[in-house]
Chains A and B, each alone.
Chain A
Amino acid sequence: MKLYIALTIASLKMYFRNKQALFWALFFPLLVMVIFGLMNFEGFNSPDVGVHDAANNDASRALIEILRGESGEEVLSVSVGTPEEILHDLEFGGSRAAIMIPENFGVQGEFAELKVTYDERYPQERMVISTVLGQVTDALFKELAGVPDEYRVENTIGISESLIEGQGQGFKGWLIPGIAAMAIMQTGLFTVVFTLVRFKSQGVLRRLKATPIGASHFLAGQLTTKAIVVVLQTYVLVIVGAVVLGVGIGGGRAGAWFDLTVMALLGGALFIAMGLAISGWAKNEETAAPVANIISMPMMFLSGIFFPLSIMPDWLTRWSQYLPLTFLADGMRAITVEGAALTTLGSELLGLGAWIVVAFAVATKMFRWE
């Protein structure tokens, strides 16, 4: 134990004296976070709406199709989900309206009522969505009923509107936990890969193997250091985000910090294991770097770090929702933005856990000392 602590302290010293590692672990994500946070991309997109389709027939599918906009020009950014999901999104700033399509939608002769809920904090978007819905349902009804355009008949599609007050913190609040998750990935993958591959190629690990203790203790100290770094890094990013961008954390719940720490450690374990697998396999830095990049780069864009997954095509998000970074970013976001407790994040924890098992299995199989 004494030895383990001594080794951890030594490797902490090594880490914090390594200016490059510090830059990538701390300053780079901070920079990205502040720049993106200040740019505030919210205004650029077509409004996000969530739709629950209880009817699931030709008529309702046609409605969703039209809402999405035809021939590539997006009218509304539509994501389909359960009533709980879409209301949850609305409440926490993930969308601007939740639209419930009733079961009898499109059934001949029946009056179907679309229930639409808006976030009252965004009146402009509410206007846009409301107008679009009105026009679209009118056109759709006429088309379905085969009524010529010039006739005026009473529409059997009704719209009822209601308001809630959302509690999300906008793009900034959404961005911070994502960047923190990304920083965990970068630290886990890159600092592990670069230090270990260098130690391996230079023969540092071989020299350690000649000691009675062996290199595994040393490795344990190194990994502990990375875990400590990952947690510190998360705190710094979240705190700076809160101060500079003015975002609250976990709705003021004290337990959020504990939950955040657990999430950071899980994410750290996952990406450290991935780093171990790569550094076990790679002979030198030249072969290790591209592999680490191939793994991390797509995740940076497919895991909803800078932009919500809802703006991506469905065929892509169907897969990207299972990426390790997606689970981590979603989990951290739920804790910081929605004030969710760790115990409610079953699917994220399960997803992370599964990936951790896979990554450690691969790492133990791949790792070589020389």
Chain B
Amino acid sequence: MTSTIDPVIVARDLRKTYGDIKAVDGISFEVKRGEVFGMLGPNGAGKTTTVEILEGMRDADSGDAIINGINVKDDPRGVKSIIGVQLQQNAFFDNLRLAEIIDLYAKLYEAKVDPIELLSRVGLEARKNGKYAQLSGGQKQRLSIAVALVNDPVILFLDEPTTGLDPQARRQLWALVRDIRSNGSTIMLTTHYMEEAEELCDRIAVVEDGKIIALDTPGNLIDQLLATGFRPEKRIREATLDDVFLNLTGRDLRD
């Protein structure tokens, strides 16, 4: 990661149509190095399609996606080799041990890693000889992040990393994302949880119907809303039910 190209992600007027549906309808944004950038929006807003175009998994109809100075449509392999990818639906081989899965993916990226070290980074060291199918939902997501880290990526893409996870597993994942970020990686994530976006992201793009309808820091977005005279219907309590659950069941890493 010696490259200093900044912004590290440039999306310029990306468009993608499926039949009559404009999945991505002119999306442009930039992500700075070291930033955690969130894409927020309801299901079907075009988040995943946008991310998959950036990852070189899908071709855009028009527009440019430039990752670390490389245009994705010119060199998808080059882009794939410097990014880490966690897809929305992840699956790995049933009959390999976790350490073997990491090892296999390292070979696919022609990278050298210590599988055990990587597993311990995501808190799965104790399961190194376990099978993917035996993992809990949160553990599966953490494994897929470990796999996404095998090539020490310039950018880590996380597509709805906490969908379907219980609050504890979600907090664990957030801690992991912060840890990865503190090592200097740029992270782009999609989510439909507002709390998650507020917790993790430096800047947020709100997407609807294939378009970005707002883009700013979470703080600014809230301030702008309050400036319009908006007041929440109910006064927000100091703690949420989430906190109650965590308080009862314990916040520690539990497997």
Task: Please determine whether A210 and B95 come into contact, CB atoms closer than 8 angstroms.
Answer: no
Number of interface residues, chain A, beta carbon within 8 A: 24
Task: Please determine whether A204 and B107 come into contact, CB atoms closer than 8 angstroms.
Answer: no
Task: Please determine whether A210 and B57 come into contact, CB atoms closer than 8 angstroms.
Answer: yes
- Give the chain B neighbours of A207 by CB distance below 8 A: 85, 87, 90-92, 147
Contact residue among B89, B92, B109 (Cβ-Cβ distance under 8 Å from A211) = B109
- Give the chain B neighbours of A217 by CB distance below 8 A: 108
- Give the chain B neighbours of A214 by CB distance below 8 A: 77
Contact residue among B57, B91, B110 (Cβ-Cβ distance under 8 Å from A202) = B91
The verdict on A290 contacting chain B, using a C-beta distance below 8 Å, is: no
The verdict on B55 contacting chain A, using a C-beta distance below 8 Å, is: yes
Identity of the chain A residue whose Cβ is nearest the Cβ of B81 in the assembled complex: A212
Task: Please determine whether A211 and B108 come into contact, CB atoms closer than 8 angstroms.
Answer: yes
Cα distance, A218 to B78, chains bound together (Å):
19
- Give the chain A neighbours of B110 by CB distance below 8 A: 3, 212-213
Identity of the chain B residue whose Cβ is nearest the Cβ of A204 in the assembled complex: B91
> When each residue 248-271 of chain A gets 1 if its CB lies under 8 Å from chain B and 0 otherwise, what string results?
000000000000000000000000
Cα distance, A7 to B103, chains bound together (Å):
11
| Interface residues in A1-26 (C-beta closer than 8 Å to B) | 3, 6-7, 10, 13-15, 17-18
The verdict on A55 contacting chain B, using a C-beta distance below 8 Å, is: no
Identity of the chain B residue whose Cβ is nearest the Cβ of A5 in the assembled complex: B107
> When each residue 82-113 of chain B gets 1 if its CB lies under 8 Å from chain A and 0 otherwise, what string results?
00010101111111100010001101111000
Cα distance, A228 to B110, chains bound together (Å):
25
Known: A6-B104, A6-B107, A203-B89. A212 touches B94 (CB 8 A): no
- Give the chain A neighbours of B87 by CB distance below 8 A: 203, 206-207, 210
**Min distance, Cβ B122 to any Cβ of chain A, angstroms:** 16
Cα distance, A208 to B144, chains bound together (Å):
12
**What number of A-B contacts does a CB cutoff of 8 Å give?**
66
Known: A202-B91, A203-B87, A203-B90. A213 touches B96 (CB 8 A): no
- Give the chain A neighbours of B77 by CB distance below 8 A: 212, 214
B56, B107, B110 interface centre (most CB from chain A within 10 Å): B107
The verdict on B192 contacting chain A, using a C-beta distance below 8 Å, is: no
- Give the chain B neighbours of A209 by CB distance below 8 A: 57
Identity of the chain A residue whose Cβ is nearest the Cβ of B150 in the assembled complex: A211
The verdict on B80 contacting chain A, using a C-beta distance below 8 Å, is: yes
A18, A206, A212, A218 interface centre (most CB from chain B within 10 Å): A212
A7, A209, A210 interface centre (most CB from chain B within 10 Å): A210
- Give the chain A neighbours of B91 by CB distance below 8 A: 199, 202-204, 207
> When each residue 188-221 of chain A gets 1 if its CB lies under 8 Å from chain B and 0 otherwise, what string results?
0000000000010011101111111110011000
- Give the chain A neighbours of B100 by CB distance below 8 A: 10, 13
Cα distance, A3 to B61, chains bound together (Å):
33
**Min distance, Cβ B154 to any Cβ of chain A, angstroms:** 13
Task: Please determine whether B93 and A3 come into contact, CB atoms closer than 8 angstroms.
Answer: no
Task: Please determine whether A212 and B80 come into contact, CB atoms closer than 8 angstroms.
Answer: yes
**Min distance, Cβ A5 to any Cβ of chain B, angstroms:** 10
- Give the chain B neighbours of A15 by CB distance below 8 A: 95
Cα distance, A213 to B55, chains bound together (Å):
14
**Min distance, Cβ B56 to any Cβ of chain A, angstroms:** 8
- Give the chain A neighbours of B85 by CB distance below 8 A: 207, 210
Known: A7-B104, A10-B100, A212-B77. A204 touches B93 (CB 8 A): yes
**Min distance, Cβ A200 to any Cβ of chain B, angstroms:** 10
Task: Please determine whether A14 and B108 come into contact, CB atoms closer than 8 angstroms.
Answer: no
Identity of the chain A residue whose Cβ is nearest the Cβ of B88 in the assembled complex: A203
Cα distance, A15 to B77, chains bound together (Å):
29
Identity of the chain A residue whose Cβ is nearest the Cβ of B80 in the assembled complex: A212
Contact residue among B55, B56, B80, B95 (Cβ-Cβ distance under 8 Å from A14) = B95
Cα distance, A7 to B109, chains bound together (Å):
12
Cα distance, A207 to B90, chains bound together (Å):
7
- Give the chain B neighbours of A10 by CB distance below 8 A: 93, 96, 100, 104
Contact residue among B80, B92, B93, B107 (Cβ-Cβ distance under 8 Å from A210) = B80
Cα distance, A130 to B117, chains bound together (Å):
82
**Min distance, Cβ A216 to any Cβ of chain B, angstroms:** 12
Cα distance, A308 to B100, chains bound together (Å):
47
Cα distance, A33 to B190, chains bound together (Å):
56
Cα distance, A199 to B8, chains bound together (Å):
33
Cα distance, A212 to B83, chains bound together (Å):
10
- Give the chain A neighbours of B109 by CB distance below 8 A: 211-213
> When each residue 75-110 of chain A gets 1 if its CB lies under 8 Å from chain B and 0 otherwise, what string results?
000000000000000000000000000000000000
Known: A10-B96, A13-B96, A18-B95. A210 touches B89 (CB 8 A): no
- Interchain residue pairs with CB less than 8 A apart (29): A10-B96, A10-B100, A10-B104, A14-B93, A14-B94, A14-B95, A14-B96, A18-B94, A202-B89, A202-B91, A203-B87, A203-B90, A203-B91, A204-B92, A206-B89, A207-B85, A207-B91, A207-B92, A210-B85, A210-B87, A211-B80, A211-B109, A212-B77, A212-B110, A213-B108, A213-B109, A213-B110, A214-B77, A217-B108
* 8 other A-B residue contacts (CB within 8 Å) besides A7-B107, A199-B91, A211-B108: A3-B110, A203-B89, A206-B89, A207-B91, A209-B57, A210-B85, A211-B105, A212-B81
Leading 8 A-B pairs by shortest Cβ distance: A202-B91, A212-B81, A14-B95, A17-B95, A212-B80, A203-B89, A210-B85, A211-B108
